[in-house]
Amino acid sequence: MKKTLTSIALLLACVNMMVAGDYTRYVDPFIGTGAVEGGLSGNNYPGATMPFGMVQLSPDTHEAPTWYNCSGYNYNDNTIYGFSHTHLSGTGAADLIDVTLFPTVTEATRSAFTHDEERAAPGYYAVNLKDAGVKAELSATERVGIHRYTFPADKSGKIIVDMEHSAVKGDWNRRIINSQIRRVGDNALSGYRIITGWAKLRKVYFYIEFSEPIDNIVMSDGSRRHEGANVINGTSLKADVSFAATAKPIICKVALSPVSADNARENMAAEAVHWDFDKYVADADVAWDKQLAKIEVTGPAEQMKTFYTALYHSMIQPNVFNDVNGEYLTPDYTVDKVPAGEAQYTTFSLWDTYRAIHPLYTIIETERTRDFVNSMLRHYDSYGYLPIWHLWGQDNYCMIGNHAIPVIVDAVLKGIDGIDAERAYEAVRNSSLEAHPNSPFDVWEKYGYMPENIQTQSVSITLEFAFDDWCVAQLAKALGKEADYERFLKRANYFENLYNTDTHFFQSKDDKGEWILPFDALKYGANGGYPFTEGNAWQYYWYVPHNVPRLVELTGGKKAFVKKLDDFFSITEESGEKNSNISGMIGQYAHGNEPSHHVAYLYNYVGQPRKSQDLIRRIMTELYNNTSAGYSGNDDCGEMSAWYIFGAMGFYPVNPANGQYDLGTPLFDSCKIHLENGKTFEIKARRKDASRYHVASVRLNGKKLNGLTLSHEAIMAGGTLEFILK
Shared domain check, 330 and 283: no
Residue where a domain stops, chosen among 373, 406, 438: 438
Q: Is residue 522 part of a domain?
A: no
Fill in the DSSP letter of residue 388.
S
Residue 428 vs residues 401, 480, 677: alpha-carbon distances, Å = 12, 15, 28
What's the CATH number where 385 sits? 1.20.1050.60
Q: Specify the pLDDT at position 7.
A: 44
Cα–Cα distance for residue pair 483/222, rounded to 1 Å: 61
The CB density around residue 622, as the number of other CB atoms within 10 Å, is 12
Pair (387, 238) in one structural domain? no
pLDDT value of residue 36: 78
- The contacts of residue 574 (CB under 8 Å, 6+ apart) are 522
Structural domain includes residue 222: yes
The CA–CA distances, whole Å, from 665 to 397, 398, 596, 618 equal 37, 34, 18, 11
In a domain, 707, yes or no: no
CA diameter of the chain? 79
The CA R_g of the chain, rounded to the nearest whole Å, is 26
Asked if 451 contacts 390 with a C-beta cutoff of 8 angstroms, the reply is no
The pairing of beta strand 670-674 with beta strand 295-298: antiparallel
Distance (Å, rounded) from C-alpha 534 to C-alpha 540?
10
The secondary structure of residue 11, as a DSSP letter, is H
Residues 6+ apart with CB under 8 A from 683: 649, 650, 666, 668, 670, 671, 672, 673, 720, 721, 722, 723
Read off the amino acid at residue 343. Answer: A
pLDDT at 577: 77
In a domain, 711, yes or no: no
Global pTM reads: 0.95
pLDDT value, residue 38 = 60
Classify residue 352: in a domain, yes or no.
yes
Instruction: Report pLDDT for 13.
Output: 42
Sign of CA dihedral 265, 147, 143, 171: positive
Among 420, 438, 456, the domain-final residue is 438
Question: Quick one: 171 and 32 in the same domain?
Answer: yes
- Residue 355 near residue 410, CB atoms below 8 Å: no
Pairing mode, if any, of strands 202-210 and 250-257? antiparallel
Instruction: Looking at the structure, tell me whether residues 224 and 359 fall in a common domain.
Output: no
Instruction: Count Cβ atoms below 10 Å from residue 27 Cβ, excluding itself.
Output: 23
Strand, helix or coil at 463? helix
Burial 201-223 (b: 16+ CB within 10 A, else e): ebbbbbbbbbbbebeebbbbbee
Rounded distance, CA 696 to CA 701, Å?
17
Q: What per-residue confidence (pLDDT) applies to 154? A: 84
Which residues constitute the domain of residue 385?
A: 326-438
Contact between 134 and 104 under an 8 Å Cβ cutoff? The reply is yes
- CA gap 208, 206 in Å, rounded: 7
The CA-CA-CA angle for residues 559, 561, 567, to 5°, reads 105
> Which residue from 436, 434, 441, 499 is spatially nearest to 465, judged by alpha carbons?
441
Residues 269 and 188 both lie in one domain: yes
Residue 195 lies in a domain: yes
One domain for residues 261 and 128: yes
Same domain for 283 and 375, yes or no, is no
- Flag whether 285 is in a domain: yes
**193 plus 76 within the same structural domain:** yes
CATH code at position 219:
2.70.98.10
Low-confidence ranges of the chain (pLDDT < 70): 1-21, 38-39
Count the residues in the chain. 726
What's the number of domains the chain is made of?
2
Q: Which H or E run contains 710?
A: strand 709-711
Whether residue 165 sits in one domain with residue 33: yes
Same domain? 135 vs 276: yes
Is 150 part of any domain?
yes
Residue 570 identity:
S
Residue that is last in its domain, among 438, 454, 482: 438
d(C-alpha 584, C-alpha 593), whole Å: 8
Domain check: are 280 and 347 in the same one? no
Q: Is the peptide bond before 518 cis (omega within 30 degrees of 0)?
A: yes
How far, in Å, are 28, 33, 329, 636 from residue 631 at the CA level? Answer: 13, 9, 34, 11
Quote the CA–CA distance of 29 and 32 in Å, as a whole number.
8
Q: How far apart are CA 125 and CA 121, in angstroms?
A: 6
Cα 713–chain centre separation = 26
**Pair (56, 172) in one structural domain:** yes
DSSP 8-state code for residue 413: H
First to last CA, the chain: 52
Please count the other Cβ atoms lying within 10 Å of the Cβ belonging to residue 576: 10
pLDDT digits 0-9 by tens, 609-627: 999 999 999 999 999 999 9
Are 185 and 128 spatial neighbours (Cβ–Cβ below 8 Å)?
no
- Asked whether the beta carbons of 111 and 151 are under 8 A apart, the reply is no
Helix/strand/coil percentages in the chain, nearest 5: 30, 25, 45
Contact criterion met (CB below 8 Å) for 214 and 243? yes
